[in-house]
């Protein structure tokens, strides 16, 4: 499980370093997202959460701002706020595969394996290029869901 989570975390971290799409965002939100990304790379996760919260406030319709905030919460081990941020990202852009992957990682950490699997399947549908890696994780979830009778599979 640890290796699977590491693979997913690496995928999320790589996703967090993607270049900004300036025309999607207001200038202030883009600058705040850039600063939040720099803070995450410098391991200042609390600072990143504060900065990315301001980015969301500056542009509440920005799926990218919500995704980055979810990633910061995820890196900080705050899984329920991460899930909420990823949900907001998906509400703003239903084709945001990165938000589905991040949400799946948070669900895995909270032992909500059925929801993690559903989020990964949606990410795979949106971005079929990562199918092989996502299929491995979905297979792992299926195997562990069968083995773990006490886990929360809602």
Cβ–Cβ under 8 Å, residues 100 and 108: no
pLDDT confidence tier of residue 28, bands split at 50, 70 and 90: confident
Give me the pLDDT at residue 152, please.
47
**Token pair listed for 12:** 């999320």
Q: Which residues in 5-27 are b (16+ Cβ under 10 Å) and which e?
A: eeebbebbeebbeeeeeeeebee
pLDDT confidence tier of residue 10, bands split at 50, 70 and 90: low
- Asked whether residue 98 carries a pLDDT value surpassing 90, the answer given is yes
CATH architecture of 2-147: Alpha Horseshoe (1.25)
Who wins on pLDDT, 11 or 105?
A: 105
Who wins on pLDDT, 1 or 13?
A: 1
Q: What is the mean pLDDT of the chain?
A: 84
Cα 123 to Cα 77, 95, 107, 126, 149, distances in angstroms: 22, 8, 14, 5, 26
Percent of the chain's residues with pLDDT above 90: 63
153: three-class secondary structure by DSSP: coil
What's the average model confidence in pLDDT over 14-39?
70
Least confident of 1-5, 6-10, 90-94, 98-102: 6-10
* Domain coordinates in residue numbering, the chain: 2-147
- Answer whether 0.95 is exceeded by the pTM: no
Who wins on pLDDT, 67 or 144?
A: 67
Give me the pLDDT at residue 153, please.
45
Alpha-carbon radius of gyration of the chain:
15
In this predicted model, what pLDDT tens digit does every residue of 120-138 receive, in sequence order? 999 999 999 888 888 888 8
């Amino acid at each position: 499980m640890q290796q699977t989570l590491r693979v997913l975390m690496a995928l999320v971290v790589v996703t967090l370093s993607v270049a900004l799409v300036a025309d999607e965002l207001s200038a202030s939100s883009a600058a705040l997202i850039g600063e939040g990304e720099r803070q995450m790379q410098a391991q200042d996760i609390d600072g990143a959460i504060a900065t990315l919260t301001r980015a969301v406030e500056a542009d509440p319709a920005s799926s990218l701002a919500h995704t980055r905030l979810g990633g910061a919460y995820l890196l900080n081990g705050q899984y329920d706020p991460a899930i909420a941020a990823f949900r907001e990202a998906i509400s703003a852009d239903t084709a945001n595969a990165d938000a589905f992957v991040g949400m799946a990682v948070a669900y895995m950490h909270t032992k909500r394996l059925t929801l993690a699997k559903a989020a990964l399947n949606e990410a795979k549908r949106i971005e079929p290029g990562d199918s092989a890696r996502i299929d491995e994780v979905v297979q792992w979830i299926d195997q562990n869901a069968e083995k773990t009778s006490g886990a929360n599979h809602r």
